[in-house]
Chains A and B, each alone.
Chain A
Amino acid sequence: MNAEVATAVETPVVGGDGRGAPAAEKQAALRVSGSSATFQPRIVGFLCNWCSYAGADLAGTSRTPYAATVRVIRVMCSARIDPTFVLKALAEGADGVLICGCHPGDCHYSEGNYKTMRRYPLLKRMLADFGIEEERVRLEWVSASEGQHFADVVDDMTRRIRALGPSKVKIALATDRAER
């Protein structure tokens, strides 16, 4: 199949396969999310067990509704969140990644969230270099008592990502595969 694709894309160079690409990207877009009107982002949430996960649970126990877009993965502390996880999620097709930890100074492990605080800005810079929009990755401090805050964050993030449309990472990798 590679051969056909290769020839299919065989055209003058400048902007050449630029013509081939959009089609593929559209296809991929459809694969990922259906029409953007009903686009329901898929957000991976990494929550620390003690504050943020408890906060998300509180949103539940107090029946605070929010968009069904976030899929939570529990870690013991936000400091456990290896930037690799974020890249992995994006590469796997996440439209957004939400990182939540205890408020600075209130970490169950006394200092874990400071490590997160240090890694995050550098990670954001790196993501920007990869052309990933600002809004797609977000760090929020959510305490065990901030169910409402968690709900608000998810809704807000959902709104912003809806405006952006689906993440292009998976599409890009898909089109690359098509090129070979």
Chain B
Amino acid sequence: MEQHRIGVYVCECGTNIAKVVDCAAVVRAAEVLPGVAVATSYKYMCSTPGQEMIAADIQEKGLDRVVVASCSPRMHEPTFRRTIRNAGLNPYYLQMANIREQCSWVHGAGAEATQKAIDLVHAAVNRVGLHEPLESRTVAMCSNTLVLGGGIAGLTASLELADAGYQVYLVEKADHLGGNLARVDLTAPYLDSAQDLLRERIQRVANHPRIETFLGTELRSLEGYVGNFTAAVALAGGDGGSGAGNGSAAQSGDGGGPGRWALEVGSVIVAIGYKEFDASRITHFGYGKLPNVITSFEFEKMVREGRIQTAEGGQPQYAAIVHCVGSRSQEFHAYCSRVCCMTALKYAHELKSAVPGCYISDVYIDMHAFGKGCEDFYRRSSEVKTLFLMYGKNEYPVIRKADPADDCGLLIEVNEQLSREQIEIPADLVILMVGMEAREDSGEVAHMVGISQDKDGWFIESHPKLDPVATTTEGVFIAGTCAAPKDIPDSVAQARAAAGRILARIAKGSIEVDAVYAEIDEEACSGCRICNELCPYVAIEFDAEAKRSRVISALCKACGACVAACPSGAIRARHFTDEQIFAEIEGVLA
């Protein structure tokens, strides 16, 4: 094997790595490995000076391979690839050793953690020597975009793209636009009308020449790859899909039967939103049994209809609002649904203005008022004499019917945390602040567009902090509450961000896709056709007269299933070759 000049850079990540792994020892161990020309550690390898150090060594010390031992490659591989590319090396001459997420953050300080780091670096050094120069491919970028979901996020994204002059296909499963926001009256904390926010957007979408709306329609499949997707959409089963896409849809791809369209798109924005938690799952609240226990959305309906009253038709003298219904509990959803607290305060105001004499009890676990203007809203609410009562996590308040003697219809028993008193709250109307849940169909959608979900069913972004709208599938973006509970401003911001990302790519006209894909050595292929059936992207075609199989690299997503299966070893996974992985195995076990 030809002798390389490998640079090994061990990142201390402040103390994140250094306080557990003896970075100096790792450097000492790396120095003596074959082919290693430079080995050093530094506080923050990803910092500008850190990257400059690498670049300088490449140019001055003539390094031809680089190993960075630091955080997960999922975090900074792109960063360091850029670094060495700018320094004149092929970006694929990089290998990272994950000594933070998979070492210093999970092991106690000591010899074992350090040994593990050394082994990982050894593997990386072994591997990087076998790396080949790869050129990432550029493919054409189709400027059409498919937007799934006609809620505030979907509408915003669609308008953003269409206003920029590009075709948008907006697919909404329901028979009307507006999503969950359409069910809301006022919005917190500024109490401006949700309808005002929606109406003009919906109108603009409806009349926009560049937006084609498909109502009562759902995605059936998504094929292709970034810049070149084909989406099959069809009328949702049973649902009439009133006013579904008109003639021009048919032009955008052969329909394949009435109520079915094939859409050519370059990008996809998934904004399918959320569904509310089913309050009857928490028996303590008696939702469904006690007529005056209602959900937040049922209350919104009351407010929109302008009559806030009990089932008996009377005005409530006492009203209670119960927070975190389905949220922040071990039984149901551990996460916070984020919007309920402020919505609850909004209800307090709406109640006060509608029924001035009404006494309002706000039964909460913690008051989350982190948003802009929210803390102030919280203060104002307490000034209108809302009684705030704190209940303990997983210690649900119990709602029961009051005795005829009482001056109220319901009684809520709470172990009140601030006074440490077991108390009973009088109520005529109880509003349950139901939390947000991933939609039942989120799983299907995720599978169709090839993105993953967390344990709660929310879609996972490609990086929670640095890349919050992109997903692990190139060209597929997420916006709004399908990624996690969000308020309107955040959803809108995300929608615009996603649209922005897409516009940037459209502006470039073409898009770089990863150079990692499988290729078949036709000299070695025997045409046994074992691989043909294995490719989920039908990226392997069989040449009948040559009796050889061939990979259509643009379609290949580099999973490597065929590579492992090829009994003649004729298929190579670029950047994940057998030799490279053997070298890693030998490295970690050296």
A–B in direct contact per CB < 8 Å: yes
- Among A47-84, those with CB < 8 Å from B are 49-51, 53-54, 56-57, 59-61, 63-66, 68, 71-77, 79-84
Task: Name the segment of A6-14, A15-23, A85-93 touching the other chain.
Answer: A85-93
The answer to whether A65 and B106 have CB atoms under 8 Å apart is yes
In contact, B101 and A79 (Cβ under 8 angstroms): no
Q: Which residues of B contact A61 (CB under 8 A)?
A: 101, 105
Q: Tell me, yes or no, whether A168 is within 8 Å of chain B by CB.
A: no
A115 adjacent to B585 (CB under 8 Å):
no
Residue pairs across A and B with CB atoms within 8 Å: the count is 147
Tell me whether A42 and B447 are in contact (CB under 8 A): no
**Min CB distance, B493 to chain A, in Å?**
24
B455 near A: Cβ within 8 Å? yes
Q: Kindly state the separation between the CA atoms of A42 and B585 in the bound complex, as whole angstroms.
A: 11
> Does chain A have a CB within 8 A of B557?
yes
B91-113 CB mask vs A (1 if < 8 Å, else 0) is: 00000001011110111100011
With an 8 A cutoff between CB atoms, is B584 at the interface? yes
Quick check: is B421 within 8 A (CB to CB) of the other chain?
no
B332 in the interface, Cβ–Cβ < 8 Å? no
CB distance from A5 to the nearest CB of B (A): 25
Question: In the complex the two chains form, is A57's CB within 8 Å of B585's CB?
Answer: no
Chain A residue at minimal CB-CB distance from B534: A115
Cα–Cα distance between A174 and B74 once the two chains are bound (Å)? 39
A109 at the interface (CB under 8 A from B): yes
Determine if A112 and B536 form an interchain contact, defined as CB atoms under 8 angstroms apart: yes
Q: Does A161 contact B (CB under 8 A)?
A: no
Complex CA distance for A145 and B460, rounded to whole angstroms: 9
Residue of A nearest to B75 (CB): A57
Whether A54 pairs with B588 at a CB distance below 8 angstroms is no
Picked from B106, B452, B559, B589, the residue with its CB within 8 Å of the CB of A93 is: B589
Write the nearest CB–CB distance from A149 to chain B, whole angstroms: 10
Minimum C-beta distance from B54 to chain A (A): 21
- Complex Cα–Cα for A102 and B75 (A): 20
Residue-by-residue, is B103-126 near A (CB-CB < 8 Å gives 1, otherwise 0)? 101111000110110011001000
Cβ–Cβ < 8 Å partners of B565 in chain A:
115
Size category of the binding interface on chain B = 35 or more
What's the least CB distance linking A69 to chain B, in Å?
8
- Asked if B560 lies at the interface with its beta carbon under 8 angstroms from chain A, I say yes
Is the CB–CB distance between B447 and A110 below 8 Å?
Answer: yes
Residues A82 and B472 in contact, CB atoms below 8 Å apart = no
Query: Which has the most chain A C-beta neighbours within 10 Å: B447, B452, B559, B584?
Result: B559
Q: How far is the CA of A40 from the CA of B454 in the complex (A)?
A: 33
- Taking a contact as CB atoms under 8 Å apart, the answer to whether A44 and B589 are in contact is yes
Beta-carbon contacts of B77-99 to A below 8 Å, as 1s and 0s? 00000000000000000000010
B72 located at the interface, meaning its Cβ lies under 8 Å from any Cβ of chain A in the complex: yes
With contacts A50-B452, A102-B452, A110-B447 known, is A89 near B585, CB below 8 A?
yes
**B490 → A minimal CB distance (Å):** 21
**Contacts A65-B108, A80-B564 known; A143 to B589 CB distance under 8 Å?**
no
Q: How far is the CA of A63 from the CA of B106 in the complex (A)?
A: 6
* Contact string against A for B residues 263-300, beta-carbon threshold 8 Å, 1 for contact and 0 otherwise: 00000000000000000000000000000000000000
B contact set with A: CB distance below 8 Å: 72-75, 98, 100-103, 105-108, 112-113, 115-116, 119-120, 123, 447, 450, 452-455, 460, 472-473, 516, 534, 536-537, 557-561, 563-565, 573, 576, 578, 581-582, 584-586, 588-589
Known: A80-B560, A82-B564, A112-B559. 8 other contacts (CB 8 A): A61-B105, A65-B107, A68-B103, A71-B119, A71-B588, A72-B102, A73-B585, A151-B106
A/B interface sample: 26 pairs, CB < 8 A: A40-B112, A44-B589, A54-B460, A57-B101, A60-B100, A61-B101, A63-B105, A66-B107, A73-B584, A73-B585, A75-B560, A77-B561, A79-B534, A80-B561, A80-B563, A80-B576, A82-B564, A83-B564, A84-B578, A92-B589, A110-B450, A115-B534, A115-B564, A119-B564, A144-B460, A145-B453
